[in-house]
Structure 1
Amino acid sequence: MNRHRSIWPLIKLNRLLIKRKFDIVHVQSKELGLVLLTYFIRSKFVYTIHDTGVALKYINCPYDLRISISECVREDVKIRTGIDSIAISNGIKVTDFRCKIREMTNKASVFKIIQLSRIALPKKGQHILIEALSILKKRGITNILCTFIGEGDSSGLESLVSKYGLSNVLFLGARDQSYIQEHLNEYDLLVQPSMFEGFGITVTEGMAVKIPVLVSNIEGPMEIINKGEYGYFFEVGNAEDCAIQIEKIMSSDNVQLVNSAYKRVCQIYNIETTAKRYIEEYKKII
């Protein structure tokens, strides 16, 4: 929230919440809890904690229920603050995604990598992936096309691409969810090289279209792939290890892996499962 913006929207929001008397007010923005007049709003307040490292002043607002988006976020909150929360993973509508149709391909064909997240350095770690592509290029592995999709200023990454003399990198900018759902299955690998991450919704999307996923070995994404059972991982911040894993994936038969990963998404990260968990917790506090 920008402190220089008008406070009138906040006043109107508080008036609305006081007047309408909702059973549940579910807060997604960490800053919003600081400006809600919870004493006058006769509702139960729920706050979703979206990442590790969220400051105590946000978590310690007078909420009736705190929900963490993963076990690692729940543990982080408990260790740092002593405050309990319930872990409910983010979910996706699996049926909205098109699964990849696997065909016999020539090893000389182009291997398509997708990196799907907002451009936010260093957190999202896109620079690590570009460095890994440079390492692969030096090894003579050039049959790769890497596409970055996500909002944000890509000029720094484009400069890095130019520095390494890479010609196999595309920046498509922001794309809406329908575009992702339609085109994600056209890729051969999804890479999430984040330096820190509480969850990693795009990892579940890659699993939902049955393409291999490669993540940095930080808690959130590693929880999704169950420490390597349903995807690949590399040492966080290590471009060399990232390159090694990409080369390994390019030469591997991943059919069994992606099928198992798909089943995991359907069972655990389906939006229907997530919604049921939320409703169960809502009922406990009403």
Structure 2
Amino acid sequence: MKIIHCIFTMEIGGAQILLVDMLNDLCVTNDVSLIIINAKVNMQLVQQLNTKVSVFYIRRPVGSLNPFYLFKLNSLIWRIKPDVLHSHERKIVKMIWKKNLKTIFTIHDVNVPIQYLDLYNNLVAISFTVLNDIKSRSALNPAMIYNGIPMESFSKRSDYEMSDKKLFRIVQVSRLMHEKKGQDILLHAMKILIDNYGLSNISLELVGEGDSKGFLIELAKDLGLESKVIFLGNKNREWIYANLSSYHLLVQPSRYEGFGLTIVEGLAAGLPVLATNIDGPNEILKTLPAGSTFFNEDSMDCAKEIIAIYSDYTNGTIKEKVFSSKNLIIEKFSIQATTSQYLKIYKN
């Protein structure tokens, strides 16, 4: 089967990471191409694609209305002659001239505008949270397929012992965009852990880049956390696969989130995960013993839940919680489960 995936920019984000994992799985038995429309490309991310995936660059300047790029895009589609075009950007359907081409759009977050969605043959929401958001604002009824990850690629944590002589390492992985991802909430929780609970043997490492980096560095200084917080910048997938298991806890303090791929990654690495009790993350964690939630934007409650997880380490109960979550995670969130469901839609 000939499949084109199409996206505007190929920079590090949840949709792009899912795309890499999907393409690497799909290309085993299908003829798969990726078209990147805009001239914003993280080559490290592209280089993680299997060599069987054909990658094409339109190199359109962001926001350009020059018809040359439309012609270049459509000429490429005509040349490839795909069975299906899978879009990861809402407006791409308006750029496609070939009207009898089957098109699919994955809705990657809540609050995506409804305009143009009815032009696609099929819509897929990445969670029931996203599905219900679309249904509450339209008559559309997307399918629902959870984002998956390559479970077998992740190094798994095996040491679950903890004492006050060991460093309790917390990690947060996402774009540094505190208005959505809530890193400031976690920094305030770190301050509470040290001042109110006397938990000094802790550290927080933030993986990612973004517009909030300067603000978060200053906030960490203002809170006196310079020696406790490390900004690691962007890390490639191989680093995530190899190193996530070296931490004790992954925290995702998002203010709003349609799903939360890093939550699944933390679970795959054998970590307990703490996230806000908003719909997307809660949908993942609510049935998992290794998952915990705290009230949205509540640093005090976040700190309280971290203490509870730290106690699970010190009293020896955390290992059983993590292990009893393992099969549920594989069944629901493996990349193989994701791609097999998409293939059914492609072939329908």
Matched residue SS, 1:56: coil
Preserved CA contact (<8 Å) 1:213 1:232: yes
> What is the CA-CA distance between 1:260 and the residue it aligns to?
2.3
| Structure 2: gaps (5+ residues) | 1-7, 9-61
> Which residue number in structure 2 is paired with residue 79 of structure 1?
136
TM-score normalised according to structure 1 size: 0.93
**Is residue 2:256 matched to residue 1:196?**
yes
> Which residue number in structure 1 is paired with residue 341 of structure 2?
277
Name the structure, 1 or 2, with higher relative contact order (CA <8 Å, separation 6+): 1
Preserved CA contact (<8 Å) 2:205 2:231: yes
Distance change >3 Å, CA 103–CA 217, structure 1 → 2:
closer
Matched residue SS, 1:57: coil
Per-residue CA distance 1:39-96 (angstroms, 9 max, x = gap): x343100000000100111423x10000000111011101111211000011000000
> Which residue number in structure 2 is paired with residue 107 of structure 1?
164
**Is residue 2:323 matched to residue 1:259?**
yes
Partner AA of 1:255 in structure 2: K
Distance in 2 between the 1:124 and 1:59 partners? Answer: 26
How many equivalent residue pairs? Answer: 281
> Which residue number in structure 2 is paired with residue 45 of structure 1?
103
1:233 to 269, 285, 293: 293
Deviates more, 1:197-206 or 1:224-233: 224-233
> Which residue number in structure 2 is paired with residue 26 of structure 1?
86
> Which residue number in structure 1 is paired with residue 12 of structure 2?
none
Question: Aligned runs of 1:178-217 on 2, under 5 Å?
Answer: 178-217=238-277
Q: CA RMSD in A?
A: 1.6
Per-residue CA distance 1:89-132 (angstroms, 9 max, x = gap): 11000000011012533233110000001111210011100010
1:9 to 47, 69, 72: 69
| Structure 1: gaps (5+ residues) | none
> Which residue number in structure 2 is paired with residue 159 of structure 1?
218
> What is the CA-CA distance between 1:20 and the residue it aligns to?
3.3
Preserved CA contact (<8 Å) 2:290 2:321: yes
Preserved CA contact (<8 Å) 2:288 2:325: no
Distance in 1 between the 2:193 and 2:260 partners? Answer: 25
Q: What is the percentage of aligned positions where both structures have the same residue?
A: 35
> Which residue number in structure 1 is paired with residue 191 of structure 2?
134
> What is the CA-CA distance between 1:228 and the residue it aligns to?
5.8
Partner AA of 1:183 in structure 2: N
Matched residue SS, 1:259: helix
Distance in 2 between the 1:197 and 1:187 partners? Answer: 23
